[in-house]
């Protein structure tokens, strides 16, 4: 019996149980995809994966920011990143490879995609975001649960982590020159990613030629 999330989930504990289970399900899937890729192509597209459950404080803050009362219903309906997974890849091409593999998983439903690599944010932020749902099988029902997946390169992750730290210090009111320099750094990150990718392609090509 497939149920909508909001029909039978009413307590904080049951909601958190679902999001934790969803993180486990998606993490395992990603590990399997990475392992399979390793044995077919002899390399890992994933450098590392981080996952986290949003803290109650952050959930309340986000609801408030978007004008919603703090309730279980509102958090389930309007906070899409309670369960979050970050996949950090080696090269930009790996990001799209991962996204495609995730999209092809029959038991995942892709709800939305935001490509902040093709369309970076005003801040300079780059990443590929997918909102997916995964069915969580319980003893008496199945509940589709949301997980936000962020896919980025090591360089994009480096930028996003430091930018987040800097902005946190200014509580969002950073002086204009800082925002400008951060955008500039984001440009440097893209140059670095492009260079690393072409280097890798050149190395693979040279290796293939040497083998023939």
Contact residues toward ligand GTP (CB under 6 A) are 62, 81, 114, 121, 123, 125, 129, 160, 163-164
Shortest distance (Å) from residue 81 CB to ligand GTP: 6
> Which CB, 24 or 114, lies closer to ligand GTP?
114
> Which CB, 37 or 160, lies closer to ligand GTP?
160
Per the listing, tokens 């080696």 go with 90
> Which CB, 43 or 170, lies closer to ligand GTP?
170
Please, which residues have CB within 8 angstroms of residue 111's CB and are 6 or more apart in sequence? 131, 132, 133, 146
Q: Is the separation of the CB atoms in 85 and 50 below 8 Å?
A: yes
Distance CA 36, CA 87 (A): 16
Shortest distance (Å) from residue 93 CB to ligand GTP: 21
End-to-end CA distance of the chain: 56
Query: Which residues belong to the active site?
Result: 148
Distance CA 102, CA 108 (A): 8
Q: Is the separation of the CB atoms in 85 and 77 below 8 Å?
A: no
Shortest distance (Å) from residue 34 CB to ligand GTP: 22
Shortest distance (Å) from residue 212 CB to ligand GTP: 44
Per DSSP, the residues of 91-134 read SHHHHHHHHHHHHT-TT-EEEEEEETTTS--TT----EEEEEEE
Distance CA 60, CA 54 (A): 10
> Which CB, 47 or 115, lies closer to ligand GTP?
115
């Amino acid at each position: 019996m497939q149920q909508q999330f909001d029909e039978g989930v009413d307590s904080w504990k049951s909601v958190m149980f679902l999001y934790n289970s969803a993180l486990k399900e998606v993490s395992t899937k990603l590990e399997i995809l990475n392992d399979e890729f390793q044995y077919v192509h002899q390399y890992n597209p994933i450098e590392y994966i981080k996952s986290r459950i949003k803290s109650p404080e952050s959930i309340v803050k986000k609801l408030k920011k978007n004008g919603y009362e703090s309730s279980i219903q509102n958090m389930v309906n309007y906070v899409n990143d309670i369960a979050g997974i970050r996949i950090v890849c080696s090269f930009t091409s790996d990001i799209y490879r991962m996204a495609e593999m995730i999209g092809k998983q029959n038991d995942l439903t892709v709800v939305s995609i935001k490509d902040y690599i093709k369309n970076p944010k005003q801040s300079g932020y780059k990443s590929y975001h997918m909102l997916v749902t995964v069915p969580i099988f319980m003893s008496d029902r199945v509940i589709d649960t949301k997980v936000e997946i962020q896919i980025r390169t090591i360089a994009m992750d480096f930028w996003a982590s430091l930018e987040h730290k800097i902005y946190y210090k200014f509580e969002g009111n950073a002086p204009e020159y800082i925002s400008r320099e951060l955008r500039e750094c984001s440009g440097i990150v893209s140059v670095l990613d492009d260079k690393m990718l072409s280097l890798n392609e050149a190395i693979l090509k040279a290796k293939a030629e040497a083998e023939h």
